Every structure is written in C-alpha cells, then in structure tokens.
Structure 1
Amino acid sequence: MILKRYSLLLIYVSVLLYDNVCAAVKQIEATPDTKRLYDDLLSNYNRLIRPVVNNSETLTVWMGLKLSQLIEMNLKNQIMTTNLWVVQKWVDYKLRWDPEEYGGVEQLYVPSEHIWLPDIVLFNNADGNYEVTLMTKAVLSYTGEVVWKPPSIYKSSCEINVQYFPFDEQSCLMKFGSWTYNGYQVDLKHMDQVPGSNIVKVGIDLSEFYLSVEWDLLAVPATRNEEYYPCCSEPYSDITFKITMRRKTLFYTVNLIIPCVGITFLTVLVFYLPSDSGEKVTLCVSILISLTVFFLLLAEIIPPTSLAVPLLGKYLLYTMIIVTSSIWVTVCVLNVHFRSPSTHKMSPWVRKLFLQFMPRLLIMRRTTYVLPEYNDNIPPRGFSATDMDIQLNMGEPFTTDFKISASDPSFLLPDHEDGKMKAHSSMTDTSNGTPKRYRQVYFLHYKEFDLSHNISEMPTKIMRLWKIGSLYQWCSTDFFCGCTLWLVSAVQQVL
C-alpha cells in the first residue's frame, strides 16, 4: 500500500518536470526565431519616414489617456499636474510578418526609439517639456499594429475660476495633437470614438486612478477637433480632453471658513463690554487684525486675477468694513461716555443743532425744572432740627464754629432779587450791606437742586449710551447673519 502511494507521487513529479523541460526547450527554440524576426523587421527600417505605402495616404493614429494620479492643482500659477499613460495605436505596414515563418511568434517587444513614432504632444504645456517621461518599449503585432503606452507627467495650463472658492468647480483642458503632420498626413482619433461622432463621454480611463485628497472628478469627456491655422491651408486634427473636478471643502471649512465666521461674530461682543472696561477698542482692533490675516492668507492661495472676486473674499471684505465701522461707533460711544463739562465745551453749532433744531424736528420737549417755594418761617430742605454745617460761597467751606440752630430759623431769609439767602438784619451792617460776623451765604437749595439734577441725568446718559451700543449691536448682528446666509445660499447654488 505504501509502495503504491510512493509510485503515484513519483509519477506526478515526473509529469511536472517533463512539462517544465518542454517549456524551457520551446523557449530556447523561440529565442532564435525572435532574434531573426527582429533583425528582419528592422534591418532596412527607417524610423524617420512615415509608414504609408503612398505619400498621399493618411495614417490614422488612435489615442487615449489613462489617468493615474492628479498630483497637484496650483491655483496661484494656474497649472494642473497629472500623471498619465498616453496610449497610442497605429498600423505600420513595414512591421508585418507571418507567424509560421518565425516559430509562431505573434508579438514582438522592441525599443520605441527604433521605430517610427507619431509626434503627439500636449499643446497647452506649462513647463516646456513636451517629451514623455519614459521611452517604454512598443508592442508589435504580426498584423502590423503598433501599441505604445508611455507614462508621462504633464503640467498643463488651466484657466482657474475662483468666483466660488473654496466651493468651486474647475474645468481643465488637455489638448493633444501632432506637432508636425497635418490632418491629411496623420488623422488623430480617440480609441473609443464612435463613427459619425466626435465626442466621447468617458474619454479618460480611470481604472488605475488614485483618489485625490483635494479634488473629486466629475466628468472626463473627450472631443476630436479639426482646426485651420493662418499658416497653412490643411486642417490639423487634435483631441481635447476636459477634466471637470470639484474641490473637497472640508479642509477649508475647518481651517478658514469657521474661524472667519467665529471671529466675525465676536464683534457683537464689543457692545456688551462696559465703557469703563477700557477694552472695547482693543477688542475691535484685534478682530480687524485677525480678519486681515485671513484675507492675506486667502490672497496667497488664489491667483492674482481681477476677473472675479472669490466668495470667501467678499465675505471677509464686507465683515472688515462692518468691523471698521464698529470701531468708529465704539470711539463715538466712548467719547460721549467720558465727556463732561470739565473736559469738553459744547460748540454753538452743536447746541443749536441738538438742543434747538433736532428737538423741534423730532417733536421733543425739554423738561422744565420748577424750584419749590419756601415759607419764611420754614428752613430750606436739608436743614434739620439739629445743628449742621453750612457753606458760604460756592466751593468755600465755612468754619466749624458756625452753626445754624433750629432755635433761630430766621437767620437765613430769601432774597428774591438775586436768588441768595442773606443774613438777618440784626447780623448785617446797614451801612455797607456786609455781615457783621459772616459774609453773605449762598442759597443752599440751589446747590441741592443742581446736585439732584445731575444725579437724575446720570441714568438718562447711561441709557442713551446703552441705546446707541444696542442699536449698532443689533445692526451688526443682522449684517453678519445676512452675510453668512448669503454665503451659504451661494454655496448651495454651486453644489
């Protein structure tokens, strides 16, 4: 039983060895045939002559692109960098053979430098390098068909539209054509082109495409064109590939848009700060500087074009204008807050405008203050039954030994001519009207009235400042919300 198993295993190994030996012998036998075929095909071959039987015959070159990677989209320089495989196919009658005469060899790989190649280049090249990156080998078929797939990294010019940046879509063109031969000599066609149509909806093969971290491809159509140039009467055929892509907005949303919107809405907090804090203008200026930095960052990304202003640039511009105006309003509010008779003097035109003209225009009336009348036998308000200190002239304190007692309330009598309280006649020198012991005393209730008047105006002043700040606060909030909603609606239209 064991011997039978070993016999079967030995037979299986022998069969495998026989197959490998036969394949090796066949390869050794095919190598001389391949060498002989290569020598026969290229011994009298001239790679500089167009492979046609008749000079008036048109050679058809089929072309296609296989996109491997979208390397870079340089907005500032308006250059798109791509990694492509340029697939080209044509028929060369000089490279035909009979497989039976060469040991059944049906394909032959030859260096592309040894055969004729169509001079197809990228017309809208941006770096001046029109050659392919690697001169790979061409695949020859016994029918004369030649297939060449060289890889290449192209830098093509692309017209950038930054109107909706960073929610933009870009369409870049890649125009390929023969640099030397006209349409009567080399007819360039797309490999997937249908007879009777010059448009291919999917003109670029994306089977080997590495997904880009910044762009999403939307469409890759191809169009065959025939153009006439002023130099020549013959048409020149070309194939234009259009790559339409849309930007992935997550990076710019997190790092550019959200910080800008957040910093913009910080302007509203300026009007919540009290005027005595001393940080209102500082906060406004800091916000303005931050927006300026973002604006400069945006200017470094987008190309210096005057055809269109980007959507985000408009938003930053409008917010910078409103922040600048908020600084102006804040300075005005602080000026009103810290204004007093000791620091500012009201100009005549200001008095006439705001106290005379504007109240009439707004149908406003000034409050009339009426002084209370006093009885001669009742001391003025503020005098108590106990002794208290009084003040003679305005700003001049009296000595502490002078007291007014309730037992002698007639010491002060009102003088209706000059509005002052004068001393009783018993304490006045009738010859010159001067007090015998004390000078004339001012009417104390006038001071009391002036003090109460200033105190009553303080809430009005604070309320007026609060209304100014609150009004501009709501205006700023509405403006910022409107700009943000406009930005969102514009983005929705694009998407």
Structure 2
Amino acid sequence: MESLQKLFACCFLLINIYVLVGAQDGVHYAWQTRLLDDLLSNYHKGVPPSANGPPGPGMTVDLQFSLVNFDFIDEDNEVASVHGWLFQTWNDPRLKWEPAAYNGTESLKMAANDVWLPDIEMFNTGTVVENVEADVMVDSTGKVLRVPSVQITFICKMDLKFFPYDNQVCQLKFGSWHYHAGVVNLTQSNDNIDLSYHGQSRDFELTNTSAKRNAVKYECCPEKYVDITYTLHLKRVSSAYSVKLVLPAALTGFLILATFLLPPASYEKITLCGLIFIALLLQLIYLHDIVPASGDTILGDYFAFALFIDFFATIIAVVSYHVHVRSSPKMQQHSSIMMKEMEGDDGDLRMKMPQDRKREFLRYVDFVSFVIFGIAFVVGLAIILGHRG
C-alpha cells in the first residue's frame, strides 16, 4: 500500500513539473511574440540604421570570412570556388529593448527578411550563393549577427609559368554595392581569414592568407566606397606531376645525349632518336591536356627545345650512317686488293685501313656532337629559366 502511494506521489510530482515547464515555455513564447511585434511595428527594413543619424562615418558593419574548403580551380577559365561562412555584425538602434520589460529576454532570433541587411556583394566578378537562408540573432543592445554559409565562385588569374611548381594568388573582394562609407562603413576585426574549420585541398595547399580594408574613391561618385579584400596564397601539390611529367621529361632529354655514345654509323642511333622524338611529342600532348592552351610554361619551352635538339641529333645520325654505307663497298674492294699485295708478308705487319680511319672520324664526330649538344642543352635550359625567372 505504501509503495502504491509513493508511485502516485511521484507521478503527481512529474505532472506538476511538466505543467510548470510548459507554462514557462508558453510565457516565454508570449513575451517573444510581443517583443517581435513591438520591434517591427514601425520598422522599415529598406532603410539603413544610419540613414537618420548625424552626418559623418556611417554605421559599422564588421565583416569576417571563415574558410571551410577550397573546392576547385578551373585553370581553363581562370575561375575558383570556395565554401565558407561570412560573419556579419552590425548595430541597429531600432532593435534595442529593455530585457526587464520582456520577462528578461536577452536575445532574439529573427527572420532575415524582417530586418535591414547590408548589401555585401563580390566585386571581382564573382557570385555568392547562400547554401542556407540564414536568420539573424539580435541582442537587447541592438547588436545583430548574421552568419550565412556561402559558396563563392570568383575570378582568379592564373600564372602557370612554373607549372607544376607554381604558386597562385587569389583574391575575394567584398563591399557594399549601393552604400558609400557615409552610410555603411565596413571594418574587419581580424587581419586574416579564419581557418579554424578549414580542410586542406587535394590539389592546392593554402600557404598564407591576409585581409585588407580599402577605401576607394571612384570617378562616378564624390564619396568613398569601402571594401574588404581577402587574399589566398596557394601552392600546387606537385608530387604526382613530378613522377608523371617532370622526371620522364628530364630522363628523355638526357637520352638525346646518350645517342652519341652508341657505336658510330649504327642504324640503332636513328631508331633511338626517332623513339625519343615520339616520347617527347607524347609528353608535350599530355602537358597540353592538363594545362590551358593559353598557359605559357617553362616545361612547354623545355619540350620544344628538346625536340629541336633531338631533330638535329637525328640528322647527324642519318648523315653518319649514310656516309658509312656509301663508303663501305669501296673500302671492302680496296681492302681486298691490299690484302693480296700483302700475301707472303709477315703476319705481324699491321696497317690502318681506310675503313678504320672512317670509323675514327665518325667517333670524333659523335664526341664533338656530344660535347656541343651537351653545352647547348645546359645553356638552353639556363636561358629558359633565366628568361622565365
């Protein structure tokens, strides 16, 4: 019997707690509804908070960009895309209230469509797409906070000179599209991009960031317009390209010099030069596929120079082989006559045949070509690198 009474007592206590909490929630909801009605009764969201204020600096909008992810860089069209959060903080005196008058309510969430919002836009030919329609948080002092999650696509000029060891600099320029500094004065609480939630990209490594406030006076208007420019310094992740492109290019170039180490006047030299030419062309096509046609790179100049060297190496090999083949029958005939004249002579007598002299001459040509082409190869690369640097 006593256990049954305790059970009823516990149930009664839980019911009272539930009713009390529900009543408090209902009261709190009623006070928030009343507060919203009072704040928005004479509120015009098309008018900025500083419109009725005294002349001078406009209302301050603090802007902070938090980078979440660097999505991609389209090198063909010179377009980049990032995902992040755009923190916007400002003070709207029309949204102030006394917490004691509204049951101690200190903050309030309001729909973004109900209040004035700063018209922050991208200046450098970009688009900002909000992934989620972000509401605003307002406290009793009139401070407004809005944090939309944004997908930003913008123009990023590419410098592919040192591809695949290139560094890129991209900028995101935000500002008020309609209001000058006397109405909306942009500021930044941090001289850098917030990277607290940033994850590294697969293709580019973020090496440095910066933020700068600019006040610019344009020809159209006497007032100054303020913008915040965020700069991203990116370094390409080049380990894959080193294995797939740079190393084969270097080894193929050195094979050109190796052709002069083969025996003189051998047709294998012609075959090797032809294979090297084809290999360089295939690598050049691969480079063209991954780099835009407008991208002028040191690696592309290297392939063009290597093709030029291989072409002349092939010409030298063909001429040497042609000279050797044409002179061989005459040499053989002359050699047989001399052998007949030497019949009966001492077997230790040794004479240098014309064919041997021809081979020595061709070896000399190969050696000189090796030296000249080696010097040309080194000097040419130095000129290319010096010109590009």
Q: Residue 35 of structure 1: CA displacement? A: 1.9
Out of 188, 196, 205, the residue aligned to residue 207 of structure 1 is 196
Match of 1:224 among 196, 207, 213: 213
Counterparts of 2:146 and 2:117 in 1: how far apart (Å)? 9
Residue 398 (structure 1) aligns with: none
Distance 1:277 1:11 in 2: 108
Aligned residues: 370
Contact 1:281 1:330 in 2 (8 A): yes
Q: Which moved more, 1:317-326 or 1:82-91?
A: 317-326
Shift of residue 49 of structure 1? 1.1
How far 1:271 sits from its partner (Å)? Answer: 3.0
Q: Residues 19 and 172 from structure 1, CA distance in 2 versus in 1: closer, same or farther, beyond 3 angstroms?
A: farther
Query: Aligned residue for 1:313?
Result: 300
| Range with greater deviation from structure 2 (464-473 or 248-257) | 464-473
2:187 aligned partner: 189
Residue aligning to 2:326: 339
Measure the CA separation in 1 of the matches of 2:168 and 2:342: 84
1:214 Cα deviation after fit: 2.1
1:486 CA drift (Å):
8.9
Output the CA distance in 2 between the equivalents of 1:304 and 1:11.
83
**Contact 1:109–1:139 (CA under 8 A) maintained in structure 2:** yes
Question: Offset of 1:262 from its aligned partner?
Answer: 1.9
Structure-2 separation of matches of 1:211 and 1:16: 51
Aligned partner of 1:161 in structure 2 is: 159
Q: Corresponding residue for 1:399?
A: none
One-letter identity of the residue aligned with 1:208: Y
Does residue 458 (structure 1) correspond to residue 342 (structure 2)? The answer is no
Task: Say whether residues 1:140 and 2:129 are aligned partners.
Answer: no
- Residue by residue over 1:239-276, the C-alpha shift from the partner in whole angstroms, topping out at 9 and shown as x without a partner, is 11111122222121111101111222222343344467
Partner SS state of residue 204, structure 1: coil
Paired with 1:119 and 1:320, the residues of 2 have a C-alpha distance of 56
Question: CA offsets, 1:338-381, max 9 Å, x none?
Answer: 123879xxxxxxxxxxxxxxxxxxxxxxxxxxx9xxxxxxxx86
Larger Rg: 1
Q: Which residue of 1 aligns with 2:149?
A: 151
TM-score of the superposition, structure 1-length normalised?
A: 0.66
Give the residue type in structure 1 aligned to 2:53: N
Distance 1:101 1:260, change over 3 A: same
Q: 1:16 to 1:336 in 2, by over 3 A?
A: farther
Q: Give the match's secondary structure for 2:137.
A: strand
C-alpha separation between the residues in 1 aligned to 2:245 and 2:209?
30
More helix by percentage: 2
Gap change, CA 1:338 and 1:12, over 3 Å in 2: farther
Instruction: Give unmatched runs, 5+ long, in structure 1.
Output: 4-9, 193-199, 344-370, 372-379, 385-451
Distance apart, 1:304 and its partner CA: 4.5
Which amino acid in structure 2 is aligned with residue 49 of structure 1? V
Identity across aligned pairs (percent)? 28
Spell out the pairing of 1:44-193 with structure 2 (5 A cutoff).
44-52=42-50, 53-54=52-53, 56=55, 58-126=58-126, 129-192=127-190
**What TM-score do the two structures reach when normalised by structure 2?**
0.83
Q: Which amino acid aligns with 1:189?
A: T
Structure 1: distance between partners of 2:38 and 2:106:
15
Indicate the residue corresponding to 1:298 in structure 2. 287
| Structure 2 unmatched ranges of 5 or more | 3-7, 331-337
Equivalent positions of 1:307-386 (< 5 A) are: 309-340=296-327, 382=343
Equivalent position amino acid for 2:197 in 1:
E
Q: Does 1:262 align with 2:260?
A: no
Quote the Cα distance in structure 2 between the aligned partners of 1:41 and 1:342. 110
Q: In the aligned structure 2, how far is the partner of 1:282 from the partner of 1:381?
A: 40
AA of the residue aligned to 1:142: S
SS at match of 1:230: coil
1:19–1:475 CA distance, 2 compared to 1 (3 A) = farther
How many Å separate the matches in 1 of 2:21 and 2:300?
70
Aligned mate of 2:364, from 467, 471, 476: 467
- Residues 142-179 of structure 1: CA distance to partner in whole angstroms, max 9, x if unpaired? 11111111111111112222222222221111111111
Specify whether residues 12 and 242 from structure 1 end up closer, same or farther in structure 2 by C-alpha distance, changes over 3 A only. Answer: farther
**CA shift digits 1:4-36 (9 cap, x unpaired):** xxxxxx999999998777555432321121222
Query: How do residues 379-418 of structure 1 correspond to structure 2 at under 5 angstroms?
Result: 382=343
Q: What is the rounded CA distance, in whole Å, between the counterparts of 2:200 and 2:13 in structure 1?
A: 47
Inter-partner Cα distance in structure 2 for 1:204 and 1:47: 30
CA distance in 2 between counterparts of 1:287 and 1:114 reads 70
Instruction: Render the CA deviation track for 1:61-85: whole Å, top value 9, x for unaligned.
Output: 1111000111112222221211121
Counterpart Cα distance in 2 of 1:94 and 1:77: 46
Give a deviation string over 1:205-251, Cα, whole Å, max 9, x none: 00010111222222211111111111111111111111112222212
